[in-house]
Amino acid sequence: DPYATVSLVGPSRNDQKKTKVKKKTSNPQFNETFYFEVTFLCGILSVYLFYAILQIFISKLYLLQPRENGNKSSKTDDLGSLRLNICYTEDCVLPSEYYASLRNLLLKSSDVQPISASAAYILSEVCRDKYDAVLPLVRLLLHHHKLVPFVAAVAELDLKDTQEANTVFRGNSLATRCVDEMMKIVGKHYLKVTLKPVIDEICESPKPCEIDPIKLREGDNVEINMENLRYYVDKVFREIVRSSISCPTLMCDVFYSLRHLAAKRFPNDPHVQYSAVSSFVFLRFFAVAVVSPHTFHLRPHHPDAQTSRTLTLISKAIQTLGSWGSLTKSKLSSFKETFMCEFFKAFQEEKFTESVKKFLDDVSSTESKEPSGLKMYKRAQGRTRIGKKNFKKRWFCLTSREFTYHKQQEPIFTIPIKNILAVEKLDESSFNKKNMFQILHGEKPLYIQANNCVEASEWIEALCRVTRCNQKRLSFYHPSAFLNGNWLCCKATLENTVGCARCTADVPADTQIEIDGDRETERIYSLFTINMSKLQKLEEACGSIAVYQGPRKEPDDYSNFTIEDSVATFHTLKQIIDIVEKLNESHEKYRKKRSSSAKYGSE
């Protein structure tokens, strides 16, 4: 029963892919494709096939030239063959100032009217594979906080061509691909804290869940299998619908925009605002992660055949449960499989529909519908004296978007959840008060005294839960206050000194989003360079449309492009071509410099 694993070993993390097991053969052919993205400068590419290991030290690679009269051993040991299809992309990243013009042109794409005349949209049009354009584009816009307005703009264009409410965001347009990629980048930790425990249970202690009569084996009990499947589906569903408080703010902002645009496009359909969100968060996020947990780093390997089938059935169930209005009786008859129709009769209760509605409301609203509130004492950092007057009694309110305190109805101070860096207990010795904790954010720490130790623990737990997906959380903090010119814990005299104690909830590695803006801009430049002929033909087409008033006749080279405003599109294309030509000159200078100083290992 052979299989193969391919591992990419890097300085910060390891990526491993595993083929499916080939049963009862000594001459396996796997014919599987794995993709690794090498984002570091040195590491080891390790191919592990059965008990043989091939290691390539990436940092030791050097230029090679063909040798004459090379010696080749006539005797070879045939241990099988490994077919690799390797796509090698080399980007020469110049200093940041070289990319200023192209970067600025791309970042202002969301402000261009119409959006189809923007540089970012044109990039997606000229690339044969939209994924090649979407990946660097989303990362660049995300790095510069421009992703949400761009997604909203391309989603609005997408909705213009949508005629029926039940097909909203169901295709593979630029908008849907951008949201897909955004969820993969931003939602990694959210998926992990939501699904990993239950996925681990399913994979490590699998129960038979096959309910298709055709696939049942002799001795299988369909009633027991259906009960097992119902247990798993219910558990996964409950984990999802109660996870809204952990949904990253950026995802909520995107979902809010999509929901608003869909409702605006189909004002007479009350359900379209929910289906616009569920088509992403359920169909393209949770359901996909359930059926392929190894792809989202929820499991290290491919599951076996039985577990894979179980995950497929659970994924189908989650898709249907997350589809707004799919649990009505009229929808049950539309199932392709009659056995799934029978299975879903158990999920027709109103509570499932209401749970989905509440979850979609929470992850696509600007604020939580059900905030938590309590009266406690607070004190801001920076007071020079310790006294009762420095501690004020205030009402505190926590939602999925912000933490506020009030004296009356209007909040006195607001801390956005995304700005909270850490929540930790405060030493009693700081103010000679018990049940205190501190909230560290961009400004001065906020010190809070709860009414008792239970309330303090509950608030710390709630705040940690709602901020655990924050990207800039601290690893170290000061357990005491800064008073009279020094930290009481470590006696450091500088107020901005790095903390002396490790945070109790350390920063998860998968919440850190490391994006090299220059590298992504270079990748986009390379794509424009490869497709320069298309850019030039599109420029000619825009010029022809602008001056020719007769019947429109377009060559095949640009007939598939979207040209809403030929003048605006022509202006953007001219800017792109000029910028690319200038970057070509800079790259040519670098290539000449490199070729003159290169050392060849085969000489």
Mean pLDDT across the stretch 439-451? 84
* pTM > 0.75: yes or no: no
Q: How far is residue 559's CA from residue 123's CA, in Å, rounded to a whole number? A: 16
Mean pLDDT of all residues in 467-472: 72
Mean pLDDT of the chain: 81
Mean pLDDT of 201-226: 88
Cα–chain center distance at 29: 33
3-state secondary structure of 482: strand
How large a percentage of the chain has pLDDT more than 90?
32
- 13 pLDDT higher than 60: yes
CB 174 within 8 A of CB 121: yes
The CATH architecture annotation of domain 372-499 reads Roll (2.30)
Instruction: Using the predicted structure, report yes or no on whether residue 347 has a pLDDT greater than 70.
Output: yes
Bridge partners of 373, per DSSP, are 397
CA–CA gap between residue 330 and residue 322 (Å, rounded): 16
- What per-residue confidence (pLDDT) applies to 32? 82
Q: Mean pLDDT check: name the lowest of 37-46, 120-129, 460-469, 531-540.
A: 37-46
Q: Is residue 383 over pLDDT 50?
A: no
Report how far residue 503's alpha carbon sits from residue 467's, in angstroms, rounded to the nearest whole number: 14
- Model pLDDT for residues 41-97, shown as the tens digit of each residue: 544 455 444 433 445 555 555 666 666 655 555 556 677 777 777 777 778 899 999
572 φ/ψ angles, rounded to the nearest 5 degrees: -65, -45
Which whole-number Å values give the CA distances from 17 to 26, 46, 285, 303, in the listed order?
A: 21, 11, 21, 12
Residue 77: what pLDDT? 66
Average pLDDT over residues 135-159: 94
Question: Residue 470's pLDDT is what?
Answer: 74
Domain at 97-177+516-603, CATH homologous superfamily: GTPase Activation - p120gap; domain 1 (1.10.506.10)
- Residue 128, amino acid: R
Q: How far is CA 185 from CA 139, 142, 181, in A?
A: 8, 10, 6
| Furthest CA-CA distance within the chain | 91
* Residue 603, pLDDT above cutoff 70: no
Question: What value does the mean pLDDT take over residues 138-146?
Answer: 93
Q: Residue 287: pLDDT band by 50, 70, 90 thresholds? A: very high
User: How confident is the model at residue 51, as a pLDDT?
Assistant: 38
Answer yes or no: same fold for 187-366 and 372-499: no
21 near 1, Cβ under 8 Å? yes
CA distances from 139 to 24, 118, 363, 479 (A): 44, 17, 22, 36
Most confident of 66-80, 96-110, 219-233: 96-110
- Topology classification of domain 187-366: GTPase Activation - p120GAP; domain 1 (1.10.506)
Per-residue pLDDT tens over the stretch 149-197:
999 999 999 999 888 888 888 888 999 999 999 999 999 889 998 999 9
Question: Which backbone phi and psi does 251 adopt, to 5 degrees?
Answer: -65, -40
Q: What pLDDT score was predicted for residue 157?
A: 92
Q: Domain ranges for the chain, please list them.
A: 4-60, 97-177+516-603, 187-366, 372-499
| Inter-CA distances, 98 with 90, 162, 401, 498, 577, Å | 18, 40, 38, 35, 15
Q: For residue 599, what pLDDT is reported? A: 63
Check residue 145 and give left, alpha or beta (phi > 0: left; psi -120 to 50: alpha): left
Q: Is the pLDDT of residue 38 over 90?
A: no
Strand partners, 406: 395, 411
Is the distance from CB of 43 to CB of 61 less than 8 angstroms? Answer: no
Taking only the tens place, the pLDDT of each residue in 403-434 is: 888 777 677 788 888 888 888 888 888 888 88
Q: Where are the alpha helices (DSSP H) in 212-337?
A: 222-241, 249-265, 272-280, 287-291, 305-322, 329-332
Q: So what's the pLDDT on residue 335?
A: 62
Mean pLDDT of 324-335: 52
